[in-house]
Amino acid sequence: MSSDFQLYGEHLRSYLSDESRLTGSFKQISYPCSTEELIAVLHDLIAAHTPFTLQGARTGISGAAVPKNGMVVSTEKSQSISSIQGNEEEGFYVIADAGARLYAVNTAAIAEGLIFAPNPGEETATIGGLFSVGAYGSNSFRYGSVAASVSSADILLPSGEIITVRRGENLFKEKGVFLPNGNFLSALVSSDNQTICAFTPQPGSDLLDVFAGSEGMFGIAIRLKLSLGTAPYNPKAVVFFFTNEDVGAAFGNRIKKTGIPDFVEYFDKNALSIIDRQKHVLPKLKDLPDFPLDAVCAIYIELTSLFAEETEEWLMDRLEDFEASGGREDYTWAAFGQYEADRFRILRHALPEAINIRIDEIRRINNDIIKTCADITAPNADTEEFLSYCKTTAASPGIEHYVFGHLAENRLHINFVPKDRKESCLAEEAILKICRFSIRNGGKIFSENGIGRTKAALFKQLVSEEELALLQEIKHFFDPDRLFNPECFL
């Protein structure tokens, strides 16, 4: 029932934190079991003017779901999904509750020969959470962000009203945007100033994409319509290992320029070695073959867009290119077909998990430490220059670090594992430098995993006064009493 709040107790410890390892506190928690209950709980809180932190599955890595006193509402039990609907001509879709898990959507789609294309790594994440942090997946080079596969969302606003925002129907003009309920959100948006936050609107921005990424600060997505694609036929995956970093980067760049693979992922030497070290801890890694001992980086590609004959030809060309760059066939892994390709996908997902395990080891000695990380883009930069800048800057303070990510989109993850406060400060300085490079090159910062509480201070050092004022204006328009996620970064 809507008012059936449970008192905070020891067994609820996991709700104090998320995958950022930041820890908070709360007084009460509610986990409604359906969308109807969720709406009722939120209406009660709004009526009582009670601020609250909304949680999905708490797999986020920005600390946005970490409460700071007060009330928590968890969507994790509101997780129904509809049967698959639609048809070949108009497309297939599924309607998911906020708390539906990614694995449930994937399972339902696959059973009908379909896919939820973006493919973010964490399958226990909720659909509402993935939408609200602006998540991407490894397939984003071909299919775009998670939000791009959301064709509409029912959003509960801080006023208590529920609006259905349909993709393409509410586009920002220079003076603002009409909401589906006819109200006008007045906000001066401009394409003259570069924005660094992925959900800051510009003329032409879709209202749906402003809710996506805003980490629950403007409204709560209670139900989402997800577009499904046709499952690819016989995917192929190849991992190329390199003994020279520059050669690896140049090869990755050439592959990206063909525009053919669904993704081009990069792993630096530290990323390869932590995966190797964690093989005994993470059971899912135990069936992976060993990496070549002298590998200093790897490029991992998956492709589904070609027919069998063309694929073979394209792959032969890549192999020739690899060998011409000094590579050897035994420095490649190849997987043909969904089952085999899925084995390699573990690589992508296991890496952030392995880094988190490493953070937990450090935290047993120094409990104040959390991962210092950033996910940034630099669309206008040369890929090799971007990679080289990130790697050199990340290495310069001499702190344990990992560089990996989506090379095809110039979207990289920089993760530091600091040992103490001094190292945390040095890591933040390096992240700041990398963010400034990103901004100089037309990029967005923290645009895949959110800003949340852990990156709020960094964000405020980088954002312009105009952009911050615009975001605050939008927050004030929707949530003048600051009831929704008040401890997040706005």
Ligand X SMILES: Cc1cc2nc3c(=O)[nH]c(=O)nc-3n(C[C@H](O)[C@H](O)[C@H](O)COP(=O)(O)OP(=O)(O)OC[C@H]3O[C@@H](n4cnc5c(N)ncnc54)[C@H](O)[C@@H]3O)c2cc1C
35 binds ligand X (CB under 6 A): no
The two three-digit tokens of residue 116, written as one number: 């939820």
Out of 81, 189, 220, 255, point to the residue binding ligand X (CB under 6 A): 220
Strands 114-115 and 85-87: unpaired
Nearer to ligand X, 423 or 448 (CB): 448
Query: Is residue 208 close enough to count as binding ligand X by CB under 6 A?
Result: no
Q: Are 209 and 172 in contact (CB under 8 A)?
A: no
Cα–Cα distance for residue pair 378/223, rounded to 1 Å: 33
The dihedrals phi and psi of 97, each to the nearest 5 degrees, come to -65, 160
User: CB–CB of 60/53 below 8 Å?
Assistant: no
Mark the segment that binds ligand X (CB under 6 A) among 213-221, 259-267, 330-338, 470-478. 213-221
**Sole binder of ligand X in the list 132, 200, 270, 393 (CB under 6 A):** 132
Shortest Å distance, C-beta 40 to ligand X: 16
Q: Looking at the chain, how many residues does it have?
A: 490
The pair of structure tokens assigned to 85 is 């609907």
Contacts of 453 (CB under 8 A, 6+ apart): 20, 22, 62, 63, 64, 66, 68, 487, 488, 489
Q: Binding ligand X by CB under 6 A: which of 30, 35, 75, 205?
A: 75
Among residues 68, 279, 349, 482, the one that binds ligand X under rule CB under 6 A: 349
Q: Which CB atom, from 43 or from 349, has the smaller least distance to ligand X?
A: 349
| Helix axes 245-258 and 383-395, enclosed angle (nearest 10) | 140
* 56 near ligand X, rule: CB under 6 A: yes
Positions 6 through 25 that interact with ligand X (CB under 6 A): 18-19
Which residues, numbered 401-430, are part of the site for ligand X (CB under 6 A)? none
Residue 136 found at the interface with ligand X (CB under 6 A): yes
Least distance between ligand X and beta carbon 124 (Å): 7
CB of 139 to ligand X, least distance (A): 10
Least distance to ligand X, CB of residue 413, Å: 9
Nearest distance in Å: CB 227, ligand X: 18
Residue 221 is a binding residue for ligand X (CB under 6 A): yes
Q: Residue 106 Cβ, how far from ligand X at the closest point, in Å?
A: 13
The residue from 55, 200, 410, 454 that contacts ligand X (CB under 6 A) is 55
Q: Is the dihedral of CA 286, 290, 294, 300 positive or negative?
A: negative
Residue from the set 448, 459, 471, 477 that interacts with ligand X by CB under 6 A: 448
We find the least distance from the C-beta atom of residue 329 to ligand X, in angstroms, to be 30
What's the sign of the alpha-carbon dihedral 129, 474, 140, 372? Answer: negative
> Which residue, 36, 51, 28, is CA-closest to 1?
36
Which residue, 256 or 348, is less far from ligand X as judged by CB? Answer: 348
Nearer to ligand X, 133 or 301 (CB): 133
* Among residues 41, 64, 207, 434, the one that binds ligand X under rule CB under 6 A: 64
β-bridge pairing 71-74 and 28-30: parallel
By CB under 6 A, tell whether 353 contacts ligand X. Answer: yes
Pairing of strands 297-303, 263-268: antiparallel
Name which of 19 and 423 has its Cβ closer to ligand X: 19
Least separation in angstroms between CB 446 and ligand X: 11
Instruction: Find out whether 411 and 448 touch, Cβ atoms under 8 Å.
Output: yes
Q: Tell me the DSSP string of 132-183.
A: HHT---TTHHHH--TGGGEEEEEEE-TTS-EEEEETTTSB-BTTEEE-TTS-
Contact indicator for 134, 208 with CB cutoff of 8 Å: no
For the CB of residue 126, give the shortest distance to ligand X in the complex, in Å: 3
Positions touching ligand X (CB under 6 A) are: 18-19, 54-61, 64-65, 75, 98, 120-122, 125-126, 128-130, 132-133, 135-137, 215-216, 220-221, 349, 352-353, 448-449, 485, 488
